[in-house]
Amino acid sequence: MGLSTKSNKTLYPHFFHLSGIHPELPKYEVLSVLESESYSHQLLKNSNQCLVLKCTKEGANLAAERAAYCKRSVRILYKAEVTEEKVIKLAEKILRNIDFENIMVNYKSFLVRVYRIGNAHSEFNSMDLEVAIGKEIWDKMAGTCEVDTKNPDITFVLLFTQEEFLFGEEIYARKKGSFVSRRPDKRPYFKPGTLEPRFARMMANLSKASTKNFLLDPFCGPGGIILEGALMNCNIVGLDIDKRMVKGSIRNIVHYKPNSQYHIFVGDARNLPFQNNVPSIATDPPYGRATSTYGKEVEDLLEQFFSEASNALVTGGVLAIGMLDEIPLEDIAKEHNFDLSIFEKIYIHKSLTRRVGVFVKK
Ligand SMILES: C[S@@+](CC[C@H](N)C(=O)[O-])C[C@H]1O[C@@H](n2cnc3c(N)ncnc32)[C@H](O)[C@@H]1O
């Protein structure tokens, strides 16, 4: 991924603690958000569930807030290999290497949290380490600040990866259950076959949907993907061949984001009313199983859709698409003037493996 610029602000090392649910997509999602909103960034390290980047605080906040599979972003204050054997030694080492007086100058309360990737360095008990680091900070600050577990002014995070530990100031942390209120069964209009909100959010991000532009889903169904786009403050355009879906997705969008800029209409994804003016498409076409393909074989439908998408997208525009594993998406995309960015298989259950492909119009 390239480097883009939002401003000439200084870039600081940050780590993004990612969900382990998919191997590569969460990293790609964070990078896509930064690119879509033109935040400068520089990749430093890509390891299991942890992406280390140089970026601004604003970029680290926005990317973690938007990216569905990012748990938190943290500005790195110190990192090292794990060589100590005792909790207290590790806590002392961190304190020796960080200018806490300076960092805490505007804060009255703090909290320390310890996380690990898998069972990395499980020889260190998380709670013991949180207490030890907290005590060191408290001592260093001569009791001028206190630990607050509910609403601290600043949270320090230590993350153990297999290779090292990273310690820093938390910039954004996703609240548990932040997608629950939008689960398909909780929406005013519900039909089977709609994506879970977290997955739909990732699809919107992978398409590099931007607040400066609009996001198109030409098989919008009950509106799972465009709803996430609306909540990201993008203008959204959705169409579906079934007018019940169009009505239903409008109900869902208006329920969750009453003031969103949307345009949702009955239409056919094989005949799109766009020409070289769409920046981002995120979509999950019918699989020919539960959802109807209106008598067309899925592969034919996709052939025609890719041809239309290629006409509709601007050069460099992005198509993020979900599909059954057995459909040769890469071949279809190549035929229609797309480059492949990333492709990942996603196991859903015994008889369904989905693939997510991200393609860029040449
Ligand atoms: C899997 S659903 C989309 C679900 C949606 N991504 C969500 O998360 O809510 C596929 C939708 O494609 C629609 N569809 C089928 N053929 C179509 C076509 N040629 N043009 C537009 N929509 C079509 C179906 O009516 C169905 O609502």
The whole model's pTM is what?
A: 0.94
Closest of 314, 278, 311, 287 to residue 219, by C-alpha = 287
Which atom belonging to ligand 1 lies closest to the Cα atom of 223? Answer: 9
16 and 70 Cβ atoms separated by less than 8 Å: yes
pLDDT tens, residue by residue, 53-110? 999 999 999 999 999 999 999 999 999 999 978 999 999 999 999 999 999 999 999 9
Burial of 171 (0-12, 13-18, 19+ CB in 10 A): buried
Ligand 1 site residues (CB inside 6 A) read 193-195, 200, 218-225, 240-242, 245, 268-270, 284-286, 291-294
pLDDT for 323-346, tens place per residue? 988 888 999 999 999 999 999 998
DSSP characters over 166-225: EEEEEEEEPPTTTTGGG-GGGSSS--TTPPPHHHHHHHHHHTT--TTSEEEETT-TT-HH
Token code pair at residue 182: 């939008």
Domains of the chain: 12-173 (3.30.2130.30), 180-361 (3.40.50.150)
Q: What percent of the chain has pLDDT over 90?
A: 87
Per-residue pLDDT tens digits for 248-291 = 999 999 999 999 999 999 999 999 999 999 999 999 999 875 45
Ligand 1: residue of 189, 206, 219 to mutate (most ligand atoms within 8 A of CB) is 219
- 169-198: pLDDT as tens digits: 999 999 999 999 999 999 999 998 889 999
Give the model's pLDDT for residue 291. 52
Among protein residues, the one whose CA lies closest to atom 10 of ligand 1: 286
Q: Is 134 left (phi over 0), alpha (psi -120 to 50) or beta?
A: alpha
